[in-house]
Amino acid sequence: MKRRALTGLIAIAAIAMVLLLTGCVEKEEPAPPATPPTTYTPEPTVTPTPMLTETSTPTPAITITTPKDGDKAPEEMTGTFVVQVTDQPSAIDDFDSLNVTVSEVRLHKAGEAGNGTNETGEWMILEPSNRTFDLTKLQDGNMTTIVNESIETGKYTQVRLIVESTEGLVNGNMVNVTVPSEMLRIVKPFTITENQTATFIFDINVVKAGKKYNLVPVIGKSGVEMK
């Protein structure tokens, strides 16, 4: 009987010991996650934009000059320019016909210095209304008009006929007629005035040199007639 009681006491003591040890052991809990430190970012400073003040620029005044009654601008003043071709009697008597074709008429206007050099002033190109003419029919005061145009007033110095071709016939045979530099030039100053007609008489001569013929301008017989 005593032996059973002793065994029960030992069992009770063992259970109590177990419970005691269980209470003394602390249960480890997981550590909480680390929180990263908060970084402070300063807000950008906004600099106020100054208001733009529109500055009004004054518009320069435009001066308009009104011409007086009866006045015209220089570029509006024009006169009539006429070129007539004639032939000086000479070797032209050898020809049955002598057709000359002019591609253009060049007219030189004087520059500010008023001289006739090519370096100053300007050249005008006029298209002939009658490009081809027969010199054998332009004798004894007969003429043919190759230009009749309105041009700007002013002083002019030279007239040039640019010869495209010549076709001469002597005793039924074709002959060669030469134009030096393929151009006939006369340097004689004249003036175009407003509402006036300047007729330039361009006299051409046929010169025989051996068996050859040349066309040359007759300066002394050429020039302007004002009407």
CATH code, 135: 2.60.40
pLDDT of residue 19: 60
Is residue 197 assigned to a domain? yes
Confidence (pLDDT) at 143? 96
**Domain extent for 222:** 74-226
Residue 80 lies in a domain: yes
What is the pLDDT at residue 88? 75
Pairing status of strand 173-175 against strand 154-170: antiparallel
Residue 82 contacts residue 148 (beta carbons within 8 Å): yes
Angstrom distance (rounded) from CA 121 to CA 110:
5
Question: Which pLDDT score, from 0 to 100, does residue 117 have?
Answer: 56
Rounded distance between C-alpha atoms, residue 166 and residue 185, angstroms? 16
Cα gap 162→104, rounded to integer Å: 5
Which pLDDT value is given to residue 65? 36
Q: Is residue 199 part of a domain?
A: yes
Asked, for residue 68, whether it belongs to a domain, the answer is: no
Q: Is residue 182 one of the residues assigned to a domain?
A: yes
Q: CA distances (Å), 90 to each of 172, 204, 213, 215, in order?
A: 19, 10, 11, 11
Q: Which tokens in the block code for residue 44?
A: 């950008």
Asked whether 82 and 145 are in contact (CB, 8 A), the reply is yes
Prediction pTM value: 0.64
Tell me how many domains the chain contains: 1
- Per-residue confidence in pLDDT tens, the chain, 227 aa: 555 555 666 667 666 665 655 554 444 444 455 555 454 455 555 454 444 444 444 443 333 333 344 444 445 689 999 999 998 777 899 999 999 999 999 999 998 765 555 667 899 999 999 999 999 999 888 999 999 999 999 999 999 999 999 999 999 999 999 999 999 999 999 999 999 999 999 999 999 988 899 999 999 999 998 77
79 contacts 153 by C-beta, under 8 angstroms: yes
In a domain, 28, yes or no: no
Condensed to tens digits (0 to 9), the pLDDT of residues 106-151 reads: 999 998 765 555 667 899 999 999 999 999 999 888 999 999 999 9
Asked whether residue 43 is domain-assigned, the answer is no
Q: Provide the pLDDT for residue 122.
A: 94
Question: Long-range contacts for 176-185 (Cβ within 8 Å, ≥24 apart)?
Answer: 176/212, 176/213, 177/98, 177/206, 177/213, 177/214, 177/215, 178/212, 178/213, 178/214, 178/215, 179/214, 179/215, 180/214, 180/216, 184/160, 184/215, 184/216, 184/217, 185/158, 185/159, 185/160, 185/161, 185/217
Q: Would residue 11 count as lying in a domain? A: no
